Structure 1
Amino acid sequence: MDTTPTDPLVGRLLDGRYRVESRIARGGMATVYVALDVRLDRTVAIKVMHRGLAEDPSFVRRFIGEAKSVASLSHPNVVQVFDQGTDGDVVYLSMEYVPGRTLRDVLRDRGRLPAREALEVMIPVLAALSAAHQAGMIHRDVKPENVLLADDGRVKVVDFGLARAIEATNQTRTGVMIGTIAYMSPEQVTSGAADARSDVYAAGIMLFELLTGRQPYEGETSMAIAYRHVHDTVPVPSALLPGSPPLLDTLVAQATARETAGRFADATAMLVAAVDAHRMLSRESGPIPSGPVPSGPVLPAPVTGAHPAPAGTAPPPLPPANPTLIQPRVEVLTEPAPAGASVALAGAAAPRRGPAPKVWFLVALAAVMVVAIGVTGWLFSRTTTVTVPDLVTHNVKLAAEQAREKGFAVEIGPAEHSEDVPKDIVLRTVPAAGAEVEPGAKLTLVASAGPKRIAVPNVVGLDANAARERIAAAGLTVDEVKRQASETVPRDQVMRTSPAVGNKVKEGAKVDLIVSAGLVMPDVTGMQRDAARSALESVGLVPEFVEQTDQAQPCTVIAQDPKAGAEIDKGAVARMTLSACDNGEWHWPWENNDQDVSDDNVIVVPNVVFKDVKAARDELRAAGFKVRVHKGLNRNRVLAQRPPGGQPAPPGTEVTLWH
C-alpha cells in the first residue's frame, strides 16, 4: 500500500463525505485511495482522475454518464460503483473496496496457472463481461490489471466505462490509442472500433497468458506488437505447452480469431464454452509439462489438431486470412499480367480466378497500403512516454530546473497553504510523480505557501449574530460568548474578541466574543440614602425612594428593584425602599447590649470612602475591625461604608464597604 505522507488528498474530506485515509495505487490515468464514507461509516475505494483529465469538460461529461451506467450494473463479479462527484478540481468515483491483489500480481508471483485453475479465474471474469454486454456496455480494456482477486476468494472486474470516457478527451487526439496493446483486438488497432467481440478477444489473450505465463506477442515497440495482432493468428497454448488440453486450444483460438465473425458473439457465448470446457476438462486434459515456458517468438500451431472441438460438436473453422488497410500481402498472378504489373495486393487468400486487375489500380492500392503503414508507424511511435519524476519536498526553483533538464515544459502553479510543509517546498506535481507522459509535456509544480493564517476580523460594535457570521466568513469559529457589564457600550454589542481583533490565527481557530451586558444593577442595600443616590446616578440610573417603617438604621436601603446583578439600560428607574428617615432615635447594635462601650473601649472607625478597596480593607483590619465587601458598581474604589467614618465602635465590629 502506498502511504506517501505528502499526498495532498490524504486526510482530506471530499464532498464533505469521504475522508481519504491512504493511497493504494497510482496509474497513468487515476490514483486510487482507501477512504471512509463518514455518512454510512463504511470503507470505500476512491478513484481520483488525474488533473489533466479532470480539466477536460468532454471527459467529465462522458465520465459522469459512464459512471451512471456502471452504477446500474449490479453483478457479484463487478466492482460496484457507489457514487461519482467533483470537489473543486477533484473528479472521483466512490467504489466498493476489495482488499486483495490483482491478477497481474498473481501472474508475477506464480507464473502460469494449471488449466482448471485458469478457467476458474476466467469464468467469473466472463460472467462479469457477460452482464455488461447484456446491458449494452463494453469494457474496452480487459487485462489482468483490471481483475481483482479478493482475500476471501472472490473475483472482481474493475474499470468498466473508464476507457470510453477517456476517448472523449483531448488525449485521444495525440495518436495514443486507448487500451493496452498486448490485449487489443485487430479492429481496435486499425480503426479504434470496439464491441463485445473486442472484449472477447482480450479475454482470449488473457486466458492464453494464464495458461502459458506469457503474452502471445512480444516486441521491442508497441507498434511491433500491434502489427502482429493485425497480421498474425494467435497461437494456441499447446504450441508452447505440448500436451495442454485441446479444449483450451479451441477456446483460445475461437476467442482470438482475427476476424470478428470467427469469434464468440459476446462474453455470454464464451462463458458457456468455458463452463463446458471446465466440466469436461478432467476427461479431455492430458499431462501438462512443468518448467518454464520457452521465450522467443511463438509460431502458430498447425491447422490440424489445433482447434479440436468438444465431443459431439463440429470444430470451429480457423479464421481466414485477414486483409486490412495496413496489411500488404503479395500474390503471384495466375493469369498473364499486363506489362509492368509484377505484383498485386490480394483481397483474399485464394488465387485469383479470371482477368487480372489493371496495373494502375494495383499500383494505387499499393500506394495506399504503404501510406497506411507509415501512418500507423507514426501513431505508434508517438506512444513513447517518459516518467514524471518525484519532486515533492524539493525547493520549487530547484525542482523546476531539474524538470526542465529532463525535457518537461515547467509551469509553476498557484501556491497552496500547508501546516506541515514549509513555504516554497513542492507539495505536488501535475501530473503526479510516476505518471507516464509524452516527452516535452507540461509539468505543473504546486508549492507550499506555508501555514495559512487568518486575521481576526473587526466585529466590535456588532451584535453577536452578525459577529458570528463575519467570523465564519473569515474561516474561523466562535467558541464562547461572554457577557460583561459596561457603562459605555450599549447592551448586546461586541466590546472585544479573544484573541484580539487583527491577531493572526490558524484557519478554523476558535474566537471568544465579549459582549456588553450594559449596566448591571449594583447592590446598594444597606447604603445610606445619599450614598445610594450618588452611586446610582453616577452610572446613569434614575433613583426613586420610598420609605417604610423598619428596624434598620434610618434612611438606609432595605430593598431594591431591579435586584442586584440584573442587566438594565442606561436611564432606567431604580426603585429603592428606605427605612423611615424619621424613625426616632436609633442605636448601633453594640449600644443595645451590656458590653463596655466606654471611651476607653471603643475605636473610631476610619473613613475609607473613595479609597482603593484593597487599601481600605487593610486599613480597617489594621485598626481592629472586620470587613465585609459588597460589589456595588464593581469599581476599585470605595463608594460607601457602614458604620461611617468617625463613628466610635468596639474592636471587632464589622464594617461594610461598597465599591
Structure 2
Amino acid sequence: MNKKNVVANRYEVVQHIGQGGMADVFLAIDTILNRHVAIKILRSDQSTDAISILRFEREAQAATTLAHPNIVEIYDVGEYKNHHYIVMEYVAGKTLKKVIRDRAPLLNLEAVDTMKQLTSAVAEAHKRGIIHRDIKPQNVIVKSDGSLKILDFGIATAKGSAQLTQANNVMGSVHYLAPELAKGEPASPQSDIYALGIVFYEMLTGDVPFKADQAVQIALQHMREPMPSVRKANPNVPQSVENIIIRATAKNPKLRYQSCDEMLKDLEKCMLPEHQNDKPLSLKDPIDKTPTKQEKDDTKVAMTRSTSLSRVANKRTKIYITAIVVLFALFALIVGLFLAGILPPKSKTVTVPNVSDMDVAQATAALEEQELEVDQENIIYQLSKDSIEGVVISTEPASSSEVERHSKVKLIVSSGVGEEMPNYVGKNIDDVKASLPSSIHLIEKEEQSDKKPGTIIRQEGVAPGELYDVAGVTDVTLYYVPYVKITIPADIIGKPIEEATAQLEAMGVNVVRAHRDTSSLPQSEIDKIKVGTVIETMPAAGSEYTQKKDSYVTLYFY
C-alpha cells in the first residue's frame, strides 16, 4: 500500500502507521464521510493462509460486537483485491507503554483511573463472551484528555471456540501471561484479569514484575515465583491498591477476581480514606518451591510454550529444542564477534524517519523510536496545500537525513488547508472584483501611473504564490491606476455630433453614438430638427461620470 492507494473506492491511504503479526495498519481518509480512519490490511504473505484469515475475521467479529467508550470502534470489514481489511476508529495519542516509560511511576489516582477504564472495557468484552488474550500497555492508546482505547482483538477468542494458535505465532506477551496459559491451558476471563493486574503493577512501579533474558524463564516465574510487592517498589501505594494486584495476579485462577465487575468494585473504593489502611490480603495459596513431578512436567510444557507460546500440547518436540540451541549459539556468536571488535559498535547517528501525514503525537513516537527528540517549544504551524490541520508537513532536518542520536527535530505542522494567492498585478480592477472569492477581503487604493486606467500596479497583504486560509477572511490591498472622472458638459446638447464626440474623447471618455430614426415623426417635427446635432446623452448632461473599463457615454442625434 502507498499514499495513492484507495481501498474499496472509499478509503484513501495516507500513511503507514504500524504493523502486527498478520497485518499492516494505515492512516486513511474515508472519502465519503470525510474523516480519518485506521485501516488494518492483512499482509500478502498471510492472505492465502486459512488460519490467518480466520483469525483476522475473528478479530473483526469480536470487535464489531463490542460498543464501549474504551474499545476502539470498528466501522467496516471487507475484502478488496484479495486483501482482507478492517476499518476502525483512528485514535490519536500515545501507547500506555510510552506513558509508563515517560512518567512512571504514575500517580496513584491516575493509575487507578486508567485501571477503571481498562477493566470496564474488558468487562464489556467478557459479557459478550470475548476474551482478549493480549492485554498489555502496547495495546492501549491514551488520548490527550486521559481517556483510553483498547486495541487489537487479533488473538481474541470466544469462550468455548476453537483455539487458533499456530506454532510459529507468539500468542500474547510473556510478561503479561497468566500461569495457566504458560502451561497450555485454555484462556478464560481470569487470564485477562491476571494481565490487568500486571499492567496495574507496571504503572505504579515503571517495570514488569518478572524479567529474565529468556521467555521460558519469565514464563516459569509467572508459574512459580511469588508476585513482588508493589509497595516495596513504591511505598506511596496504599495497601488497598496492592490488595487488588495481589488478588488479580493470584497463581490459582480460582483465587482471582471471578469477574472484571468484581475488580471494578474494588477499584472504585480503593482510594477512599477508609480503605487506605486495609490489612494486607492473604489468599492462603502457599507456593512450594520444591518442584514436584507435576511441576517438572509443567516446566517442560512452559519451555515449549514460551518458545512458541502455543497452546498445542503436542509441540514438545526436538524441533523446538534444536531451535533454542541454535538461537543461543547464534546469540553467543554475535556477542563474541562484537566483543572481539569484528562487528561494528552501535552507530552514533540515526536516520530521520518520514513522519509526514502523521499527527504530532504519532510523529513524536516515531522519532523517539529512532532515539530522536521533538523540539516541542519550536513546532512551526503553517498553512498547507495538501495536509489537513494538525498533520505534520515536514521536519527540520528533513527525513532521510543522518543526525546524531538524541538530536532535536523540528516539526512543521499544518494549521489548515490553504490556497495560493493569485497574482493580480497587471489585471483590471473590475475584472478582479467580479471573480474575487469570499475568503478575500479587497481593499482598493488608487495610485497614479502611466499604465492604463483601472490597471492593478501593486499588491499587498499576501504576496502572489503565498498560501492563504480559505476557511477565514484574508485582507488584500490592490493599488490601481485611477479611472477618469468628469462632469459631462451641459452645453454638449445641441453641438454637432462630430464636435461633441471629439470633446468627450479628449477628456478620456469612451463615446458611443446612437442615431435616432425620424420615420415615425410627423413632418412638422422633422422640419424643426437640426440634423447631426446632439439631442440627448446617457448618462445625462451635467452628471458625474467615471470612465471604467467597459463603460461609455452615449450621444443621441438625428
Count of aligned pairs between the two proteins: 313
% identical aligned pairs: 31
Which digits, 9 at most, give the CA deviation of each residue in 1:195-226, with x for residues without a partner?
Answer: 11111100000000000111000101000000
Matched with 1:55 is: 48
Contact 2:22 2:52 in 1 (8 A): no
Rounded to whole Å, the distance in 2 between the matches of 1:110 and 1:93 is 33
Q: Answer yes or no: is 1:273 the counterpart of 2:266.
A: yes
Matched with 1:320 is: 285
- Check 1:173–1:57 CA distance in 2 against 1; reply closer, same or farther (3 A cut): closer
Q: 1:242 aligns with which of 211, 235, 240?
A: 235
Q: Answer yes or no: is 1:181 the counterpart of 2:212.
A: no
Rounded to whole Å, the distance in 2 between the matches of 1:113 and 1:50 is 37
Rounded to whole Å, the distance in 1 between the matches of 2:140 and 2:192 is 13
Matched with 2:359 is: none
- Check 1:243–1:372 CA distance in 2 against 1; reply closer, same or farther (3 A cut): closer
Matched with 1:193 is: 186
Q: Answer yes or no: is 1:259 the counterpart of 2:236.
A: no
Deviation for aligned residue 1:322? 5.9
Rounded to whole Å, the distance in 1 between the matches of 2:295 and 2:126 is 34
Structure 1 residues 540-555: aligned runs within 5 Å: none
Deviation for aligned residue 1:99? 0.9
- Check 1:172–1:136 CA distance in 2 against 1; reply closer, same or farther (3 A cut): closer
Matched with 2:72 is: 79
Letter matched to residue 377 of structure 1? M
Rounded to whole Å, the distance in 2 between the matches of 1:175 and 1:101 is 29
Matched with 1:39 is: 32
Contact 1:217 1:228 in 2 (8 A): yes
Structure 1 residues 99-178: aligned runs within 5 Å: 99-164=92-157, 172-174=165-167, 176-178=169-171
Matched with 2:199 is: 206
Matched with 1:233 is: 226
Deviation for aligned residue 1:62? 4.2
Rounded to whole Å, the distance in 2 between the matches of 1:90 and 1:21 is 17
Q: Answer yes or no: is 1:92 the counterpart of 2:53.
A: no
Q: 2:303 aligns with which of 373, 377, 393?
A: 377
Q: Answer yes or no: is 1:284 the counterpart of 2:276.
A: yes
Question: Highest Rg: 1 or 2?
Answer: 1
Rounded to whole Å, the distance in 2 between the matches of 1:372 and 1:201 is 19
Contact 1:208 1:236 in 2 (8 A): no
Deviation for aligned residue 1:173? 3.5
Rounded to whole Å, the distance in 1 between the matches of 2:301 and 2:62 is 35
Contact 1:176 1:380 in 2 (8 A): no
Rounded to whole Å, the distance in 1 between the matches of 2:161 and 2:130 is 16
Rounded to whole Å, the distance in 1 between the matches of 2:271 and 2:46 is 42
Rounded to whole Å, the distance in 1 between the matches of 2:190 and 2:304 is 27
Contact 1:258 1:319 in 2 (8 A): no
Which digits, 9 at most, give the CA deviation of each residue in 1:560-603, with x for residues without a partner?
Answer: xxxxxxxxxxxxxxxxxxxxxxxxxxxxxxxxxxxxxxxxxxxx
Task: Please report the TM-score for the alignment, with normalisation by the length of structure 2.
Answer: 0.52
Q: 1:329 aligns with which of 287, 290, 296?
A: 290
Contact 1:234 1:253 in 2 (8 A): yes
Rounded to whole Å, the distance in 2 between the matches of 1:168 and 1:284 is 42
Rounded to whole Å, the distance in 2 between the matches of 1:221 and 1:279 is 40
Task: Please report the TM-score for the alignment, with normalisation by the length of structure 1.
Answer: 0.44
Which digits, 9 at most, give the CA deviation of each residue in 1:107-138, with x for residues without a partner?
Answer: 12122101111111111111111111111111
Matched with 2:62 is: 69
Rounded to whole Å, the distance in 2 between the matches of 1:249 and 1:179 is 25
Deviation for aligned residue 1:169? 11
Rounded to whole Å, the distance in 1 between the matches of 2:222 and 2:207 is 15
Rounded to whole Å, the distance in 2 between the matches of 1:29 and 1:63 is 8
Rounded to whole Å, the distance in 1 between the matches of 2:255 and 2:222 is 15
- Check 1:76–1:378 CA distance in 2 against 1; reply closer, same or farther (3 A cut): closer
- Check 1:206–1:49 CA distance in 2 against 1; reply closer, same or farther (3 A cut): same
Contact 1:236 1:252 in 2 (8 A): no
Which digits, 9 at most, give the CA deviation of each residue in 1:14-40, with x for residues without a partner?
Answer: 111211111112233332211011222
2:262 aligned counterpart, secondary structure: helix
Structure 1 residues 477-516: aligned runs within 5 Å: none
- Check 1:58–1:135 CA distance in 2 against 1; reply closer, same or farther (3 A cut): same
Letter matched to residue 329 of structure 1? T
Deviation for aligned residue 1:230? 0.6
Contact 2:220 2:299 in 1 (8 A): no
- Check 1:130–1:173 CA distance in 2 against 1; reply closer, same or farther (3 A cut): closer
- Check 1:9–1:198 CA distance in 2 against 1; reply closer, same or farther (3 A cut): same
1:227 aligned counterpart, secondary structure: helix
Deviation for aligned residue 1:318? 1.9
1:35 aligned counterpart, secondary structure: strand
Deviation for aligned residue 1:176? 4.5
Deviation for aligned residue 1:240? 1.6
Deviation for aligned residue 1:157? 1.0
Greater relative contact order (Cα < 8 A, sep 6+): 2
Contact 2:184 2:305 in 1 (8 A): no
Rounded to whole Å, the distance in 2 between the matches of 1:187 and 1:371 is 13
1:172 aligned counterpart, secondary structure: coil
Letter matched to residue 218 of structure 2? I
Rounded to whole Å, the distance in 1 between the matches of 2:94 and 2:69 is 17
Contact 1:200 1:256 in 2 (8 A): yes
Contact 1:30 1:48 in 2 (8 A): yes
Q: 1:223 aligns with which of 212, 216, 221?
A: 216
Contact 1:163 1:178 in 2 (8 A): no
- Check 1:186–1:164 CA distance in 2 against 1; reply closer, same or farther (3 A cut): same
Deviation for aligned residue 1:162? 3.5
1:230 aligned counterpart, secondary structure: helix
- Check 1:370–1:267 CA distance in 2 against 1; reply closer, same or farther (3 A cut): closer
Which digits, 9 at most, give the CA deviation of each residue in 1:473-528, with x for residues without a partner?
Answer: xxxxxxxxxxxxxxxxxxxxxxxxxxxxxxxxxxxxxxxxxxxxxxxxxxxxxxxx
Rounded to whole Å, the distance in 2 between the matches of 1:50 and 1:230 is 35
Structure 1 residues 424-503: aligned runs within 5 Å: none
Which digits, 9 at most, give the CA deviation of each residue in 1:236-260, with x for residues without a partner?
Answer: 2112223521011101000000101
Deviation for aligned residue 1:156? 1.0
Contact 1:11 1:20 in 2 (8 A): yes
Structure 1 residues 263-412: aligned runs within 5 Å: 263-280=256-273, 284=276, 308-309=278-279, 316-321=281-286, 329=290, 345=292, 366=293, 370=296, 372-381=298-307
Rounded to whole Å, the distance in 2 between the matches of 1:370 and 1:182 is 21
Letter matched to residue 68 of structure 1? Q
Rounded to whole Å, the distance in 2 between the matches of 1:170 and 1:56 is 16
Rounded to whole Å, the distance in 2 between the matches of 1:55 and 1:376 is 31
Letter matched to residue 16 of structure 1? N
1:209 aligned counterpart, secondary structure: helix
Letter matched to residue 302 of structure 2? T
Matched with 2:374 is: none
1:19 aligned counterpart, secondary structure: strand
1:86 aligned counterpart, secondary structure: strand
